[in-house]
Structure 1
Amino acid sequence: MVTDIKSGLRDCVQALEARAVMGMLPDRPRLLALGEPTHAEDTLLDVRNDLFRQLVEEGYRTIAIESDCMMGLVVDDYVTTGEGTLDDVMARGFSHPDIGLGASAANRELVRWMRAYNEGRPAGERLRFAGFDGPLEMAAAASPRGALTALHDYLSTHLGPDLLPRTEQKLDHLLGSDDRWTEPAAMFDPARSIGRSAEARELRLLVDDLSALLDSHTPRLIAETSRDGWDRARLYARTATGLLRYHFWMADTSPHRMTWLVSLRDRMMADNLLALAERGPAMVHAHNGHLQRNRSTMWMSGLPVEWWSAGALVSARLGKEYAFLATALGTLRHRGVDAPPPDTVEGLLYALPEQRLLLDAPRLATTLGAEPPAPRVSPYYGYASLDPAQLALSDGIVFIKDVPSMAR
């Protein structure tokens, strides 16, 4: 049986190239998602960069990563127009400093290459960059001020202030000090959140009115600004709405509080991805858990939390126009992850000679049979191993045999 599986594995293996990915999929996806099983490893980002460069030759023009959608606008402005400097963009254009997105050499190289590629090209041919995560960190959520005031300014400038339900001064009064919104203690103590204050409730109604105004005047706004300008205003509206929802549930005291919070984060991700899909083919990169089609699970405060990931939400809407490649690793020795046991999926793949592989996931699931191997148990909490029972829900598996330590 083991011999049959090893023989069948060879039939599933392809070179890790964009053309092989396209040939493996039944349709050209509008969103091609590449997951990673752990963060803060430039080797994985180098693989992402290589694949994106090849996908550009296949007509893809946008890359979206698991970073703050508002901060990502700084990067997009730089790669499309040259606004700012590379050092400044790396400092201000990436979130999640705990995993070093802005300090990553691979992220820096991606931004540099995209700017060089765009130099001298007409607007319609330029590459675009997007963050698709909400303005959320592990310890706090951002104030809605940035997104809400940007939306208010856009509508006031192009429609006139008389149509707006609140003045800029009233908006500033309702928002108050940003410190009230970003209070770190609120992540674990609902009583420290202002998400259910009278001001926060009024802001939720205000954002709803401003969003309705934005949608109602779509023809005029696109004609007077541009499709990109209107799209950016929609991003402001989505972000302000999502943040106010998130803060509302940070103030919740029920047992479902954390389920709401993780669900809302992925909902924000999904909404941003669906908006990007309207613009044209895009490559997406984030943790496997945010991009997979099956329900995501984790333990928080000793309790299980389950929710639908951004990938599951987007896949339900886009169908075959969404494709997901899950990445798995052989070793991550500097994190204590040594060679996988031979009776796991990763162990079977590790026995193959290639350093990097692409595998047809549904075909791999069929090869492994009705009783798949046992899941690999990772000694490092930051590495999520493959779930053998869910292989068929991925379109492909990217396997990287050994990930070396890379100094920041």
Structure 2
Amino acid sequence: MTDLIQNSARPFTGGALAALLSPATRLLGLGEPTHGVEAFPELRNELFRHLVEHEGYRSITMESDCLAALVADDFVAGGTGTLDEAMSGGFSHGLAASPANRELLRWMRAVNEQRPPEDRLRCDGFDGPLEMTGAASPRAALTALHDHLAAHVDPAWSREALDDLLGPDELWTDPEALRDPARSVGRTPEARELRLVADDLRAQLTMHAPRLAAETSADDRWRADLHARTAAGLLRYHAGLADTSPTRLNAIMFLREAMMADNLDAIVRREADRGPTLAFAHNSHLQRDQSGMHFGGQPLRWWSAGAVMGARLGDGYAFAATTFGTRGTDTPGPETLEGVLSALPHDRAVIDPARFTAALDRRLTPRVPADYTYAALDPATIDRIDAVVFVREL
């Protein structure tokens, strides 16, 4: 390893990573290369503490159900629920099992106890109410939106009409709909009408904005808009599940990322006067380049939420990718990015991609990992990453 490559790296600290970011950053995406490995959310916690204490950050958002995250946010804000309740109800995708997520909520609540309400830390989810096996019913989002409006104005639709159109939730949550569009109710006449309902109810938030601003809190209005976005996004997603075209699976990947991007955009706008936001998710949801995978023997390509936010925010979006060297018997070859980084003298390192690529004297090849759940970084794209965080061994 050349001295130039070594000079592109520093031992990992929050400050070392923050030093590589533009001062214009409003949203920092921290990606992880695989799920379920505690080293990465632990690293995230360490970074977030630094960002809060030294860089003015006041919020974090994760690849978790945006509606479930309201439970976690209530807890960190000082709500009456217990930490156990916040964990069980506040996360999706199995994230409640993570000790690092538990420690994050505990620490955020402790910090908030010392702060005025307007300066409190916030915890959001930016994924839709989606799991690998299917999507939630739009009932919770639509009825919460309806009830918010009904407390102040005359909604365009009644709760009884909503219930009739929605039908049983089991029709919406059928896990077989992911593989078989005939099992989806997303393009029934009732589902099409529900998309009009969601549009009408969201329009009422705008039509009655002056009255709602006078009679409700900013948090209440934020949640109403969140429910409106989520209802519309879920109905689009269910319609995608019912699509019979050959591009169906690729289309629903785009739809999920669009929901993520819209949630990130709303969070950034909400936090505009308070400080930047840290977003934590898989690298594939936050990178600027197109993401891809094979599913059911079909190659899929889509623009990630991070790519969309990069297009919207420009220099206001920054992306830090994480990757690792050895995991059990899976050791990267010397010709790969991870193999080169494994020769660094640091167990955890922050790499300046611009200095690293300038110092390279050969072309690197993508790593082919033994574990299919791990997505290796493409060495040809690291010049479009603001920072790389490397963990030598898991």
1:120 deviation in Å? Answer: 4.2
5+ residue gaps in structure 1?
404-408
Partner of residue 406, structure 1: none
The aligned counterpart of 1:55 is 51
**1:27 Cα deviation (Å)?**
2.2
* Alpha carbons 1:222, 1:229 under 8 Å: kept: no
Deviations 1:87-117 (A, max 9, x none): 11111111012xxx10111111111111111
Name the SS for the 2:125 alignment partner.
strand
1:36 CA displacement: 0.2
**1:345 and 2:337 matched:** yes
Which one of 67, 72, 76 corresponds to residue 75 of structure 1? 72
CA separation in 2, counterparts of 1:165 and 1:67? 31
Alpha-carbon distance in structure 2 between the residues aligned to 1:69 and 1:113: 20
8 Å CA contact retained: 2:14, 2:47: yes
- Which residue type is aligned with residue 219 of structure 1? P
Match of 1:106 among 100, 119, 136: 100
Give the equivalent residue in structure 1 for 2:150: 156
- Consecutive unaligned residues of structure 2, counting only runs of 5 or more, are none
Q: Paired residue for 1:293, among 253, 271, 288?
A: 288
For 2:392 and 2:214, the matched residues in 1 are separated by 51
Using the aligned pairs only, state the percent identity. 53
Which amino acid is 2:314 matched to?
G
**For the residues of structure 1 that align with 2:227 and 2:358, how far apart are their CA atoms?**
44
Structure 2 Cα separation of the partners of residues 41 and 324 of structure 1? 20
For the residue of structure 2 that corresponds to 1:81, the secondary structure is: coil
Residue equivalent to 2:28:
32
State the secondary structure of the residue aligned to 1:24. coil
SS in 1 for 2:96: coil
Shift of 1:146: 0.5
Q: Separation in 1 of the partners of 2:114 and 2:216? A: 23
Give the partner amino acid of 2:359: T
SS at match of 1:195: coil
Once residues 18 and 321 of structure 1 are traced to their aligned partners in structure 2, the CA distance between those partners, rounded to angstroms, is 19
Q: Which residue of structure 2 aligns with residue 396 of structure 1?
A: 387
Q: 1:89 aligns with which of 68, 86, 89?
A: 86
Partner of 2:131: 137
Q: Aligned residue pairs: how many?
A: 389
Residue identity matched to 2:341: L
1:319 to 311, 314, 327: 314
Q: Hey, what's the Cα distance between the residues in 1 that align with 2:352 and 2:108?
A: 29
The CA deviation string for residues 365-405 of structure 1, in whole angstroms up to 9 with x for no partner, is 23226x631111101101111101111111010001111xx
Counterpart Cα distance in 1 of 2:121 and 2:103: 14
- Which residues of 2 match residues 1-400 of structure 1 at below 5 A? 6-57=2-53, 58-97=55-94, 101-159=95-153, 161=154, 164-280=155-271, 281-333=276-328, 336-337=329-330, 339-368=331-360, 372-400=363-391
Give, in angstroms, the shift of residue 153 of structure 1: 0.5
Which residue identity lines up with residue 303 of structure 1 in the other structure? Answer: Q
Distance 1:165 1:344 in 2: 58
Instruction: For 1:62 and 1:233, locate their aligned partners in 2 and report how far apart those are by CA, in whole Å.
Output: 19
Q: TM-score scaled by structure 2? A: 0.96
- Cα deviation code 1:328-354 (max 9, x no counterpart): 101121xx52x2111211111101110
